[in-house]
Structure 1
Amino acid sequence: MAVNAWQPLAPHRAGLWWLALANVPLETWSRWMSLLDEEEQARAVRFVHERDRQPFIAAHALLRILLQQLAGRPADAWRFVSGSHGKPSLHPDHRLDRLAFNLSHTRGAVACAITLDHAIGVDIEQVERSTRLVDIADSHFAPAERALLRSAPAAEQRALFFRLWTLKEAYIKAHGDGLSLPLDQFAFTLAPLAIGFDPAIRDDPAAWQFCIVTPTPTHILSLAVRHGGTTIAVTADQVTHLDIDRLMPASARG
């Protein structure tokens, strides 16, 4: 992609980027790790398996490169804080209170979304991982979603499940209240793509915008943005490991 041609951050716009990890060279991981701060590196090394550690490193490296390109500060100079539910945000010292971001990682791919002035959430999942779909749906989906899943042909249920699951996760992450928000008290429809709420949840379906992307044949990615009545122009693009390596600041190249 034309990374150098990225548009500056602007109101009523959101960017969604993903990075597939299948072809990332082994020597790349130490360079990407050097972009992360001490706290991020400590979290990375706590993962027992590389298949879990590498997506974490990649997601945080991607976020830092995106922030560098969009806001002008070197990728290894960004600092972050965590909210009460663990959602990260920029350190107040950066004086970028309007900027909102979210990131997600799974085996084989990572994603990041950035916008101004709007709550935003993103979730990416690997659809081939072993999962007891119906059991999870029975425990976490709203009745209408469970019915939709059970009525689908068996060959379509896995993709349908992950579309619904990533949408629900993206909404929760954008909402900001973490797991305190019951998953079965809001439901998605796919045609049209929309959300509905149980009366117990005080939220406005018309205030939200969603999109679903299939970034690789084995991943599904969903985005949630609270737009408050103004449609958000969403751009979605793939980033490669070559893009990240090319844009790394000299201080992190070793």
Structure 2
Amino acid sequence: MSPRLQIWCLDCTAPPTDAEAVCWSHLSAVEKECALRYRQVADRRRYIFGHGMARLLASQLSGRRPDNLVLAVEERGKPFWRNVDCPFSISHSGAWVFLAIGGHAPLGVDIQAEQDRTDADGIAEFALSPEEQAALAACSLDLRRRLFFTLWVLREAALKATGQGVFDLSRTVSALPVPPCDQWCQAPSLGTTGIWLRILDAPDGYQAALAVLNPDEQPAHPEMKTWADARKLLVLACNDAHLAE
């Protein structure tokens, strides 16, 4: 039986005590090197929390020690564990990291802050389909901006699930119709069979979406998790790190 699909919503401004140190201690040498390349502290912390929690959760779900998990990257940049079957996807924006993990099918998650300075119309012209652009044009200015970010996170989540690059998703395909919040909807118009999309609950001022590439059946409802659900995991990981010293 595959592990239950989980969505971890992690506020990087309010982590539990020692969460950053615990996550850091379980990163691989390559991951630590990647984290240190970020010049901004906020960017570095998002990377540490996202990858550290992905490693700890994959360890919990697979039964392997965190330091025995081998992280690899597909040709187009999609990360995966080489030695365990535990799909995951990480996205971050502003103060938040969203981590999707579990199940048995490729995942893609995306979160975006609704930034006022974003040129929604300009980006839509070269990134969205004519159908999506027409839907935006029919909206009021406020609704247009919100719909733009909805379409954007749906498309980004689908790209991550399929392992495609941002420009591989043709402007001839569409994320419409937008699925109702917290319900699965197939997306045949995205050009790949078996993509299931879902709008996720997100903090105020953000939008988030999940995509699962599963042509055989509708995915199960994901469990939504926060830092409060990670306390026991972090304590065990902290003890494990001390024993390894």
Whether TM exceeds 0.5 here: the answer is yes
Give the corresponding residue for 1:158.
Answer: 145
Q: Deviations over 1:173-196 (max 9, x none)?
A: 111132351341321121565534
C-alpha distance in 2 between matches for 1:25 and 1:233: 29
Matched, 1:211 2:198: yes
Distance 2:12 2:108 in 1: 21
Letter in structure 2 aligned against 1:229: D
Identical-pair percentage: 26
**Kept in 1: contact 2:108–2:211 (CA 8 A):** yes
| 1:52, distance to aligned residue in structure 2 (A) | 1.4
> 1:3 maps to what in 2?
none
Structure 2 counterpart of 1:190, from 175, 178, 181: 178
- Do structure 1's residue 179 and structure 2's residue 171 form an aligned pair? no
- Aligned match of 2:136: 149
Task: State which of 217, 224, 245 in structure 1 corresponds to 2:234.
Answer: 245
Query: What is the letter of the counterpart of residue 156 of structure 2?
Result: E
Segments ≥4 residues shifted beyond 6 Å: none
Aligned residues: 236
Q: Which has the higher contact order (CA 8 A, sep 6+)?
A: 1
1:84 and 1:52 map into 2 onto residues whose CA distance is 24
1:73 aligns with 2:64: yes
* 1:5 aligned partner: none
Distance 2:7 2:87 in 1: 12
Change (3 A) 1:19 1:55: same
Corresponding residue SS for 1:17: strand
How far 1:23 sits from its partner (Å)?
1.3
Matched, 1:232 2:219: yes
Contact map agreement 2:62 2:86 (CA 8 A) in 1: no
Distance 1:247 1:158, change over 3 A: farther
Partner letter of residue 128 of structure 2? Answer: F
Q: CA deviation at 1:197?
A: 3.3
Q: Is the 8 A contact 2:179 2:197 kept in 1?
A: no
Query: TM-score normalized by structure 1?
Result: 0.82
- Aligned CA distance change for structure 1 residues 85 and 142 (closer, same or farther; 3 Å): same
- Point out where structure 2 has 5 or more consecutive residues left out of the alignment: none
CA shift for structure 1 position 166: 0.8
1-side partners of 2:9 and 2:152: how far apart?
18
Q: Which TM-score applies when normalising by structure 2?
A: 0.84
* Displacement of 1:26: 8.2
Structure 2 CA distance for partners of 1:40 and 1:131, relative to 1, 3 Å: same
